[in-house]
Structure 1
Amino acid sequence: MEWNAVANFIKPELLMVVAVCWVIGYILKQTPKIPDWTIIYAVTLAAIILVVLTTGLNVDSVLQAILCSAVAVYGNQLVKQTAKAKEGNEQ
């Protein structure tokens, strides 16, 4: 399954949560005292809190939050890896 298909499972009203998760991940990555391995957990927890506050507490909300955080992290990695590959081709 492609990531675009996964992104299509996210409810349109929750796309802002994906953007917020991306920003939270970026901020945490720039914070020296935060280990990289904890960032995905923090982003997922933030997504769960945001989605539950937006749509209420139910199983669908938790699943939507996990999808939002996964797409945010995947999107960030996609941008980083693409930039890294471009750097390698320019040298």
Structure 2
Amino acid sequence: MEQITNYVKPELLVVAVVLYFIGMGLKSAQAVKDKYIPLILGGAGIVLCAVWVLATCPISTGQEIAMAVFTAIVQGILVAGLSTYINQTIKQLGKNE
């Protein structure tokens, strides 16, 4: 897990926790099939990270816009992956073997 968190901006680690709870809510509500939950979390992660990037970065040139889009996508995918990792870790710790 430390390898993943080295690439995630510290301010966005809370987004991974938020996505974990969103995923648990989707699973318990049975609103969508389980196979779509990671895709939904990835999209939500990108949107939440985009909001953070837009709120914290000056965006005036084309290069800054491209960097903001890139940062939002990469960070969104990373925090979604981190939330899935947290979910799987909790499941595996709960197993009796």
Q: 1:63 aligns with which of 53, 58, 74?
A: 74
CA deviation after TM superposition for structure 1 residue 33, in Å: 3.4
Give aligned pairs, total.
Answer: 84
Give distance in 2, aligned partners of 1:23 and 1:83: 18
Runs of 4+ in 1 over 2 A off after TM superposition: none
Find the residue that maps to 2:8 and give its secondary structure: coil
Give distance in 1, aligned partners of 2:45 and 2:28: 19
Q: 2:5 aligns with which of 1, 4, 7?
A: 7
Q: Structure 1: any 5+ residue segments left out of the alignment?
A: none
Amino acid across the alignment from 1:53: V
Q: 1:72 aligns with which of 54, 66, 83?
A: 83
Find the residue that maps to 1:58 and give its secondary structure: helix
Find the residue that maps to 2:93 and give its secondary structure: helix
Amino acid across the alignment from 1:30: S
Q: Structure 2: any 5+ residue segments left out of the alignment?
A: 55-67
Give distance in 2, aligned partners of 1:32 and 1:17: 22
1:1-91 aligned at under 5 Å gives the runs 3-56=1-54, 57-84=68-95, 87-88=96-97
Amino acid across the alignment from 2:24: Y
Give distance in 1, aligned partners of 2:8 and 2:93: 24
**TM-score, scaled relative to structure 2:** 0.80
Give distance in 1, aligned partners of 2:92 and 2:7: 24
Q: CA RMSD in A?
A: 1.2
Amino acid across the alignment from 1:39: I
CA deviation after TM superposition for structure 1 residue 32, in Å: 2.1
